[in-house]
Amino acid sequence: MEELKQRILKEGRVLPGDILKVDSFLNHQIDTALMNRIGQRFHELFGNDKITRILTIEASGIAAAYATAQQFDNCPLVFAKKGTAANMSADVYHATAYSYTRSGEMEIYVSHQYLSPADRILIIDDFLANGQALSALSEIVRQAGAHLVGCGVVVEKAYQPGGEMLRRQGIRVESLAKIAAMDPENGIRFE
Ligand code: 5GP
């Protein structure tokens, strides 16, 4: 998505530790018009796939997932919550992911009530790096017995292994901007 790439080039900041900061429009302050166009783009990609529910993870996936759900006839949007095993009841699906930005394990969970075997799920997230977040979400879809149609990612850091790992498992992954390389000195290069 050319508009998104230009915005990343203009406002993105590459931080040490391989983090791209896009706080000015994607995951702190949100450019809602851009986000709506991101939702439209995901609809172009997955619009024929009879999606019944969008699944994401709190907090930074929610905006893109919301914009996307609106394009799919306002289908329900479910976000996995982050928490610890201690506060989980028996009626939840849960999975563990290693958090890239927080450097630690996190448990994520979704109530049984909000996913069913009849669902055709599109997972949406803001970033794909090592694939931990999307793997954990796909594990939750598996536990629910629902059908995973694919994953829509706003920014994929394609030089990190997550995208390849998921695609090797046969999961359809569509990214709107694929970063081939980035570093604080030389900036960002797209695929
Ligand atoms: P993964 O699980 O694929 O390693 O990382 C995905 C999650 O980590 C995303 O949900 C996102 O919140 C966060 N993340 C990974 N890399 C970056 C990055 O470069 N910038 C930002 N802002 N978040 C990232």
Whole-prediction pTM: 0.96
127 touches ligand 1 (CB under 6 Å):
yes
> Tell me, what's the pLDDT at 85?
54
For residues 144-148, give the mean pLDDT: 98
Cβ neighbours for 15, distance < 8 A, ≥ 6 positions apart: 21, 184
> Tell me, what's the pLDDT at 86?
57
Helix axes 2-11, 32-46, angle to 10 degrees: 140
Tell me how far the alpha carbon of residue 181 is from its chain's centroid.
20
Q: Is residue 152 scored above 70 in pLDDT?
A: yes
For residues 25-34, give the mean pLDDT: 97
Which CATH number is 2-190's, of 3.30.56.10, 1.20.1250.20, 3.40.50.11810, 3.40.50.2020? Answer: 3.40.50.2020
Q: What is the pLDDT of residues 52-69, one digit of tens each?
A: 999 999 999 999 999 999
**CA 40 to ligand 1 center in whole angstroms:** 22
> Tell me, what's the pLDDT at 88?
61
155 touches ligand 1 (CB under 6 Å):
no
126 touches ligand 1 (CB under 6 Å):
yes
Cβ neighbours for 129, distance < 8 A, ≥ 6 positions apart: 18, 100, 157, 160, 162
Q: Is residue 149 scored above 60 in pLDDT?
A: yes
For residues 42-48, give the mean pLDDT: 98
> Tell me, what's the pLDDT at 103?
73
> Tell me, what's the pLDDT at 99?
80
> Tell me, what's the pLDDT at 16?
87
Q: Return the percentage of the chain with pLDDT > 90, whole number.
A: 87
Q: What is the pLDDT of residues 87-126, one digit of tens each?
A: 567 799 999 998 867 778 889 999 999 999 999 999 999 9
Q: Domain residue spans in the chain?
A: 2-190
Q: Is residue 172 scored above 60 in pLDDT?
A: yes
Please give the structure tokens belonging to residue 44.
């172009």
**CA 191 to ligand 1 center in whole angstroms:** 18
Distance CA 187, CA 121 (A): 35
> Tell me, what's the pLDDT at 83?
83
C-alpha dist (Å) from residue 110 to 62, 92, 118, 143, 172: 14, 5, 16, 10, 22
What rounded mean pLDDT belongs to the chain? 95
> Tell me, what's the pLDDT at 104?
85
60 touches ligand 1 (CB under 6 Å):
yes
The total number of residues written for the chain in this structure? 191
